[in-house]
């Protein structure tokens, strides 16, 4: 398994820090032209009416902000390309129910309950002047929106259970104020019995407290609420796959990627495969319906083959078909349009086998792609000059396609929270033999930059010089880091012959170690003169801005995502803290990173950027060795020593400083809405608009894409 995404939350926090994010402003919609008649009437050129700036930030609640992104260039696409994107858009959203069910077995019923009583809550809120009831209504609405944002009742990032701040008594009143026909009742179930069942699922913090548990020493399967396993223990899962996996197979399938592992009536461990006619069959049938329509209007023959293979995979559930699809997808390099669709990333599985449904529909940003392509074209140079051991380098880096994309819609695990960079496929042998695609989600990055609330940089940067460097270079620095993380980071290195995949050898630490490895490739090369030579970086100050941001975030700023007393469990956070903390500790003798206390506030100041680069190179060499050799003990030691524990005193200070800023640490997006324009039964155009209400979009999705039963 090779997880390949930066979290959207990480990018937003970096944006608020003033480093590691886009600083460019989102382009406003083109102004409308004034009619010729009006211009002639006054006999002089008429000025175009001024439109208000595009509203990026829609609302903020709890620890979340809801944003919008624009889709520049959509109108200039050919009608056939718009039609293709529309079909892929519908396919993406048709899998929405799947991610809810994957995250927790009661999620669909909870979500449908919230949708059913939403109007009753709104009616109460607007009809009363009783402040206590208004507060209860507001608390319920916030909880509902948090569930929508997280695709279930567990926080999208920490994976801890979300518990409503409204009272169970108020919730009960909403249930009985709602038409029973709207409630997700099971056959023969009364409203009273339903309420007794659903209330503890929603309100009891001890019921399914954690979606993904990564705490060492515990049974990670039994203590995780994710719906990937039922009735089995961690040891049973590991034993099941140990018997199935042949470590000598040079082209192994991604075992367990598209199934739920359960015990049958004979107490045998077995897989329930996600496919048409199997588990999630109703939703996947609709995904296939739209993919088949897309096949008829593809950009290229290669794209058609790829989508045909994807359809075959969904129809059969055969993981060899999944590999065939990925190979075909990698070789589709000429299409302007593209799509990621499938069971992709394994962050939601504590053991790293099963993947969550997601989709990203996009088209290539031709101009912005020049930057990332320049890096991808030199992938072999970067590999040859890496500080890793020669035997761990790829002798022939093949098939890296790098581009900046303009996102049209995201679905499943990619929304509302979103990646900013993607490198796929995840299968190591496919990447080695056929290559990979690396993308930077350009308009998403721009939207995050435009939504920068400010304040974080001023609060946590060491001095004016650091702030000025960030303001000048952070946008480019963040994009370059993402580009190199995806293009040459995940694509670099190779596993020794006979060593299993990271999910088999490094187990629950695989995701964090892989993200750290990719980060370190980017960090090591950011100051390299090669980037100036390629014309993608103007000077070494770009690297300094990113180094400042990375250390600041890894040692302090990202702690705002944790509650007092919590340890770090999320893979990206473990990665960043491990890298930053290791560099800080190993650089103490030379005072490479200086911890400074000034007026009761802590700062981390880099005193020697060259030595820090050397430390990054040393850690990269060790991480690649761990990955190549499958050294579980060394990988575990790195993460547990440097990436998990939190200094409670520093944490308390960071939370207090951050609270004064009034900034939500996480953000995600409402999705653009596509509407086909039909003429005589044929689609002649597709119109795109930008919804302005998160709750309305979620309610609309709940109605339109209700494709699975409450329990699957």
Q: What is the pLDDT of residue 19?
A: 36
Q: What is the pLDDT of residue 34?
A: 28
Residue 7 lies in a domain: no
The pLDDT mean for the chain works out to: 92
- Answer with the one of 210, 229, 260 that is the final residue of a domain: 210
Q: What is the pLDDT of residue 39?
A: 33
Please report which confidence band the pLDDT of residue 5 belongs to, taking 50, 70 and 90 as the band edges: very low
- Mark whether 416 and 513 lie in a shared domain: no
Is residue 690's pLDDT more than 70? Answer: yes
Distance CA 556, CA 538 (A): 29
Distance CA 564, CA 584 (A): 23
Q: What is the pLDDT of residue 27?
A: 31
- Mark whether 202 and 289 lie in a shared domain: no
Is residue 336's pLDDT more than 80? Answer: yes
Residue 291 lies in a domain: yes
Q: CA Rg, the chain, in Å?
A: 25
- Mark whether 175 and 275 lie in a shared domain: no
Cβ(198)–Cβ(110) under 8 Å? yes
Average pLDDT, integer, range 682-697: 98
Range of the domain at 684: 86-102+212-364+401-451+677-711
3-class DSSP assignment, residue 526: coil
Q: What is the pLDDT of residues 488-498, one digit of tens each?
A: 999 899 999 99
Alpha-carbon separation of residue 448 from 9, 379, 423 (angstroms): 10, 28, 20
- Mark whether 458 and 438 lie in a shared domain: no
Is residue 262's pLDDT more than 70? Answer: yes
Is residue 46's pLDDT more than 70? Answer: no
Is residue 208's pLDDT more than 80? Answer: yes
Cβ(224)–Cβ(211) under 8 Å? yes
Q: What is the pLDDT of residues 48-96, one digit of tens each?
A: 566 778 999 999 999 999 999 999 999 999 999 999 999 999 999 999 9
Is residue 31's pLDDT more than 90? Answer: no
Average pLDDT, integer, range 360-371: 94
CATH of the domain at 435: 3.30.540.30
- Mark whether 427 and 281 lie in a shared domain: yes
Q: What is the pLDDT of residue 48?
A: 57
- Mark whether 583 and 687 lie in a shared domain: no
- Answer with the one of 210, 245, 278 that is the final residue of a domain: 210
Q: What are phi and psi of 465, to 5 degrees?
A: -65, -40
Average pLDDT, integer, range 119-125: 96
- Mark whether 681 and 578 lie in a shared domain: no
Cβ(241)–Cβ(351) under 8 Å? no
Range among 357-361, 431-435, 507-511 rated most confident: 357-361
Q: What is the pLDDT of residue 53?
A: 87
Residue 386 lies in a domain: no
- Answer with the one of 166, 195, 210 that is the final residue of a domain: 210
Lowest-confidence range among 50-54, 289-293, 503-507, 694-698? 50-54
Q: What is the pLDDT of residue 398?
A: 85
Q: What is the pLDDT of residue 47?
A: 55
- Mark whether 462 and 430 lie in a shared domain: no
Q: What is the pLDDT of residues 621-646, one digit of tens each?
A: 999 999 999 999 999 999 999 999 99
Please report which confidence band the pLDDT of residue 20 belongs to, taking 50, 70 and 90 as the band edges: very low
Residue 427 lies in a domain: yes
Q: What is the pLDDT of residue 215?
A: 92
- Mark whether 654 and 514 lie in a shared domain: yes
Considering its fold, how many domains does the chain have in total? 3
- Mark whether 530 and 420 lie in a shared domain: no
Residue 383 lies in a domain: no
- Mark whether 464 and 525 lie in a shared domain: yes
Residue 43 lies in a domain: no
Q: 219-256 burial, b for 16+ CB within 10 Å, e for fewer?
A: ebbebbbbbbbeebebebbeebbeeebeeeeeebbbbb
Q: What is the pLDDT of residues 542-576, one digit of tens each?
A: 999 999 999 999 999 999 999 999 999 999 999 99
- Mark whether 439 and 584 lie in a shared domain: no
């Amino acid at each position: 398994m090779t997880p390949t995404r930066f979290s959207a939350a990480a990018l937003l926090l970096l944006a608020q820090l003033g480093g590691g994010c886009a600083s460019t402003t989102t382009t406003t919609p083109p102004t409308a032209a004034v009619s010729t008649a009006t211009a002639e009437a006054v006999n002089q050129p008429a000025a175009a009416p001024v439109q208000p700036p595009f509203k990026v930030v829609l609302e903020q609640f709890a620890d979340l902000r809801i944003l919008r992104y624009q889709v520049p260039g959509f109108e200039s696409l050919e009608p056939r390309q718009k039609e293709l994107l529309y079909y892929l858009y519908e396919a993406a959203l048709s899998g929405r129910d799947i991610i809810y069910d994957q995250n927790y077995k009661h999620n669909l019923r909870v979500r449908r309950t919230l949708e059913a009583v939403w109007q009753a809550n709104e009616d109460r809120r607007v009809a009363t002047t009783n402040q206590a009831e208004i507060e209860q209504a507001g608390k319920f609405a916030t909880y509902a929106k948090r569930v929508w944002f997280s695709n279930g009742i567990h926080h999208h990032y920490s994976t801890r259970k979300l518990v409503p701040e409204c009272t169970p008594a108020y919730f009960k009143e909403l249930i009985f104020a709602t038409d029973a026909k709207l409630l997700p009742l099971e056959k023969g179930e009364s409203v009273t019995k339903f309420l007794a069942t659903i209330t503890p699922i929603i309100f009891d913090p001890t019921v399914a407290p954690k979606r993904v548990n990564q705490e060492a020493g515990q049974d990670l399967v039994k203590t995780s609420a994710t719906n990937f396993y039922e009735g089995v223990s961690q040891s049973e899962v590991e034993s099941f796959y140990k018997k199935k996996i042949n470590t000598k197979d040079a082209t192994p399938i991604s075992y367990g990627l598209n199934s739920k592992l359960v015990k049958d009536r004979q107490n045998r461990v077995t897989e329930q495969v996600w496919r048409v006619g199997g588990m999630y069959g109703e939703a996947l049938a609709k995904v296939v319906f739209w993919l088949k329509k897309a096949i008829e209007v593809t950009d290229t023959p290669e794209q058609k083959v790829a989508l045909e293979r994807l359809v075959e995979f969904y129809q059969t559930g055969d993981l060899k078909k999944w590999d065939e699809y990925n190979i075909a997808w990698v070789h589709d390099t000429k299409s302007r349009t593209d799509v990621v669709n499938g069971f992709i990333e394994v962050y939601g599985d504590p053991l790293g086998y099963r993947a969550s449904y997601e989709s990203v529909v996009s088209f290539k940003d031709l101009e912005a792609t020049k930057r990332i392509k320049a890096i991808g074209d030199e992938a072999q140079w970067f590999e040859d000059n890496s500080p890793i051991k020669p035997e761990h380098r790829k002798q022939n880096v093949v098939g890296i396609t790098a581009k900046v994309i303009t996102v049209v819609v995201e679905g499943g695990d990619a929304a509302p929270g979103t990646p900013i960079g993607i490198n796929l496929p995840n299968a190591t042998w496919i990447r080695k033999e056929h290559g990979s695609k690396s993308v930077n989600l350009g308009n998403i990055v721009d939207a995050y930059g435009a939504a920068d609330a400010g304040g974080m940089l001023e609060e946590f940067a060491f001095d004016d010089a650091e702030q000025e460097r960030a303001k000048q270079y952070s946008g480019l620095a963040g994009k370059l880091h993402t580009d190199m993380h995806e293009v040459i980071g995940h694509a670099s290195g190779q596993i020794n012959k006979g060593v299993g995949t990271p999910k088999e050898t490094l187990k629950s630490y695989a995701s964090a170690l892989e993200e750290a490895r990719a980060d370190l490739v980017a960090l090591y090369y950011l100051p390299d003169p090669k980037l100036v030579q390629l014309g993608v970086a103007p000077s070494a100050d770009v690297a300094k801005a990113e180094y400042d941001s990375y250390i600041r975030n890894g040692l302090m700023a990202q702690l705002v995502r944790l509650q007092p007393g919590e340890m770090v469990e999320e893979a990206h956070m473990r990665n960043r803290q491990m890298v930053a903390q290791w560099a800080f500790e190993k650089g103490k003798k030379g005072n490479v990173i200086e911890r400074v206390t000034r007026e009761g506030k802590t700062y981390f100041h880099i005193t020697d950027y060259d030595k820090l680069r050397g430390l990054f190179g040393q850690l990269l060499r060790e991480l690649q060795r761990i990955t190549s050799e499958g050294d579980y003990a060394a990988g575990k030691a790195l993460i547990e020593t440097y990436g998990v524990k939190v200094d409670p005193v520093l944490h308390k200070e960071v939370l207090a400083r951050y609270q004064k800023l009034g900034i939500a640490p996480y953000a995600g997006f409402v999705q653009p809405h596509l509407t086909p324009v039909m003429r005589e039964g044929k689609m002649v155009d597709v119109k795109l608009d930008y919804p302005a209400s998160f709750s309305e979009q979620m309610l609309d999705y709940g109605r339109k894409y209700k494709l699975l039963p409450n329990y699957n």
